[in-house]
């Protein structure tokens, strides 16, 4: 949420900032703004709404400044989306500019104190206290890095910031505490950004800034200091293997559609090199747990938010069946404030596409305090959650830009299944025969998903057209497909703004069945080989006898289902363990196609942003 890009070097700065912001726009699109140094002073240009509006404004700027600049795309937390609340924000004299991702929790107090000293504020944001605090320190005689460090010592909350000053226009300052920030190290130029794709066109060499660190960037140098005491810190440069084109739409109309179509590859990349196709053995030493540690586990606790939480719920069914350990799946925003009943024999598994999700990260930290071990499932190399866990299973799904998560979800499901096979083989809770069976079915999944997309996309398009005007939807599943019902409903509501609820089908009679009438379409997930199939059919009958319309996903050739459902979309027969992956695909396509026919902005749904780095 909120995207920051910063540049110092010799290039024309506006195109760099705009390209960076274009690649960060998934993080927020309430407003966008840039600041650069031009003819001896700082120019700030900001526009309400999507980046396009800023682009239009900049097209009329008429000059091509070089050297230093900052850009920001906003997801508002404090202060309505409006031009005057757009970043960058400045000090009283507009000699200093700041972009910020995060929340300054004590901004009321700080603002009151600064106003008493005569500072004039122009916005309602929490962010604006930062340039004013820095201004105070500059006036007290400190140089820019020290002024930033001292200013930040007064701030409580979360921040990733970029700063530059008209009196030192060769120097860009970056600092972070609980919001992500990565530095891009170029030749004769340096960058800072909230996320890797923003700097990929120019460099693949990056430094991940940690909490409590700041950086002084000039075109030829990058120095990292501790925010606590200003001491120098040596950091390693990491090399990124994504390329710039991976963050492009590649001819698809939307990122979401491209990412749906990329799933066969993303799933394959997740298990490639980790799953022996002959023996079904899994090798994931990167989880960094010894066999003794795996054997000593008494409990698993999965921590996640949103779509990743649904992946975690699927994980619970898998772990409980094949690893025989109790599993709790916890929402990050709840877990972090709960009384924790976990200890060093608990394994926590934080799941997050970005590895920066604020609530998941805070939960991980609490679990670490009581000695729990942690193995993360993440897509972004070097992200904070991966650095704070004992080990990580990277999903290798490539950059996910669409705000509605798709390929990250199915690769998280794949990674969870790998972990289940790995623990099952180590703890001997899974026989070799079962392991081979599950491995064989996972190996088939990329091919099955590819064929499935090809087959169902036109059918789903028709369905979406016919049901586009419905205002409510129910999604029903049982057992391992219950979380997929939740995920299907979430996808529909987030991008098409249709009210949708996911339910465990057996729960219908405890309340939701009262909602059923001819205006309530019900999407039922009913594979014929699941042990709860008959129960599912009974639940479908119950809906049908109340004039509900059933849209069903089920197994090819299932005549019983075809008889009870109004419309059916058939899927290939697949094993229970991989069925969540396959049954997700048509639901993603349905949400996508409904959103398209309703004219919604698929990649940038209202009020949302990706990579939720605030509480
Ligand atoms: N609090 C700042 C920045 C918002 C943000 O980081 N969102 O994710 C604002 O409201 O502008």
**Per-residue pLDDT tens for 353-393?**
999 999 999 999 999 999 999 999 999 988 999 999 999 99
Q: How far is the CA of 215 from the centre of ligand 1 (A)?
A: 21
Q: Which entry of 204, 219, 373, 610 is annotated as an active-site residue?
A: 610
What is the per-residue pLDDT for 607? 86
pLDDT at 608: 85
Give alpha helix (H) positions in 556-607.
559-564, 579-597
Q: Is the peptide bond before 88 cis (omega within 30 degrees of 0)?
A: yes
Per-residue model confidence (pLDDT) at position 212: 97
Catalytic residue among 2, 301, 305, 574: 2
Location of structure tokens 């075809």: 562
Span from the CA of 576 to the centroid of ligand 1 (angstroms):
42
User: What pTM was computed for the model?
Assistant: 0.85
pLDDT above 80 (res 403): yes
The domains located in the chain, with CATH, are 3-243 (3.60.20.10), 258-597 (3.40.50.10490)
Q: Is residue 592 a contact partner of residue 394, using CB atoms and an 8 Å limit?
A: no
pLDDT given for residue 552 in this prediction = 98
Residue 218 has pLDDT above 80, yes or no: yes
Q: Tell me, rounded to whole angstroms, the distance of Cα 31 from its chain centroid.
A: 20
Would you say residue 610 has pLDDT above 80? no
Distance (Å, whole) CA 356 – CA 196 = 12
Cβ pair 152, 177 in contact under 8 A: yes
Residue pair 482/504 in contact by the 8 Å Cβ criterion: yes
Is pLDDT at 531 greater than 90 in this prediction?
Answer: yes
If one residue of 31, 70, 74, 610 were mutated to test the ligand 1 pocket, choosing by the most ligand atoms within 8 A of its CB, it would be 74
Our answer to whether residue 2 is catalytic in this structure is yes
102 CA → ligand 1 middle, Å:
5
101 lines ligand 1 (CB under 6 A): yes
């Amino acid at each position: 949420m909120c995207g920051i890009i910063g540049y110092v070097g010799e290039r024309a700065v506006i195109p760099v900032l705009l390209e960076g912001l274009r690649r960060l726009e998934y993080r927020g699109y309430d407003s966008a703004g840039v600041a650069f140094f031009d003819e001896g002073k700082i120019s700030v240009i900001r526009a309400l709404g999507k980046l396009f509006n800023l682009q239009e404004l900049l097209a009329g700027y008429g000059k091509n400044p070089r050297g230093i600049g900052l850009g920001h795309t906003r997801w508002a937390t404090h202060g309505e989306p409006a031009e005057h609340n757009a970043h960058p924000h400045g000090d009283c004299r507009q000699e200093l500019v700041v972009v910020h991702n995060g929340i300054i929790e004590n901004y009321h107090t700080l603002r009151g104190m600064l106003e008493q000293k005569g500072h004039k504020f122009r916005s309602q944001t929490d962010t604006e206290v930062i340039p004013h605090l820095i201004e105070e320190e500059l006036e007290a005689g400190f140089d820019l890095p020290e002024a930033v460090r001292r200013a930040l010592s007064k701030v409580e909350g979360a921040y990733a910031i970029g700063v530059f000053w008209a009196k030192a226009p060769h120097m860009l300052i970056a600092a972070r505490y609980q919001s992500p920030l990565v530095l891009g190290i170029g030749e004769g130029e340096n960058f800072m950004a909230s996320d890797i794709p923003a700097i990929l066109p120019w460099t693949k060499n990056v430094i991940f800034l940690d909490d409590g660190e700041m950086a002084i960037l000039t075109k030829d140098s990058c120095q990292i200091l501790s925010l606590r005491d200003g001491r120098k810190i040596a950091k390693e440069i990491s090399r990124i293997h994504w390329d710039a084109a991976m963050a492009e739409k590649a001819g698809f109309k939307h990122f979401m559609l491209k990412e749906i179509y990329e799933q066969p590859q993303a799933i394959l990349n997740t298990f490639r090199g980790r799953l022996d196709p002959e023996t079904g053995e899994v090798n994931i030493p990167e989880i960094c747990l010894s066999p003794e540690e795996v054997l000593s586990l008494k409990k698993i606790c999965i921590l996640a938010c949103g779509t990743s939480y649904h992946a975690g719920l699927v994980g619970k069914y898998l772990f409980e069946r094949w690893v025989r350990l109790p599993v709790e799946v916890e929402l990050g925003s709840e877990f972090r404030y709960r009384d924790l009943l976990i200890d060093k024999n608990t394994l926590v598994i934080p799941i997050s596409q970005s590895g920066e999700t604020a609530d998941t990260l805070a939960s991980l930290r609490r679990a670490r305090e009581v000695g729990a071990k942690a193995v993360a499932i993440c897509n972004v190399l070097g992200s904070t959650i991966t650095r704070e866990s004992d080990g990580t299973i990277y999903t290798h799904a490539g950059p996910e830009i669409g705000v509605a998560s798709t390929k990250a979800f199915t690769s998280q499901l794949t990674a969870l299944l790998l972990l289940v096979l790995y623990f099952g083989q180590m703890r001997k809770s899974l026989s070799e025969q079962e392991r081979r069976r599950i491995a064989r079915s996972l190996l088939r999944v990329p091919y099955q998903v590819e064929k499935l997309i090809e087959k169902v996309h036109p059918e789903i398009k028709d369905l979406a057209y016919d049901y586009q005007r419905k205002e409510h939807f129910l999604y029903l599943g049982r057992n391992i497909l219950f979380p997929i019902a939740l995920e299907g409903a979430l996808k529909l509501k987030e991008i098409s703004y249709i009210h949708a609820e996911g339910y465990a089908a057996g729960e219908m009679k405890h309340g939701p069945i009262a909602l059923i009438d001819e205006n309530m379409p019900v999407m039922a997930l009913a594979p014929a080989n699941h042990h709860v199939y008959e129960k599912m059919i009974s639940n479908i009958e119950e809906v049908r006898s109340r004039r509900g319309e059933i849209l069903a996903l089920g197994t090819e050739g299932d005549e019983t289902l075809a008889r009870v459902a109004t419309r059916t979309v058939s899927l290939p027969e697949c094993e229970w363990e991989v069925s969540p992956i396959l049954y997700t695909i048509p639901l993603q396509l349905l949400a996508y196609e409904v959103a398209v026919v309703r004219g919604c902005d698929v990649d940038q749904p209202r009020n949302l942003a990706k990579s939720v780095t605030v509480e």
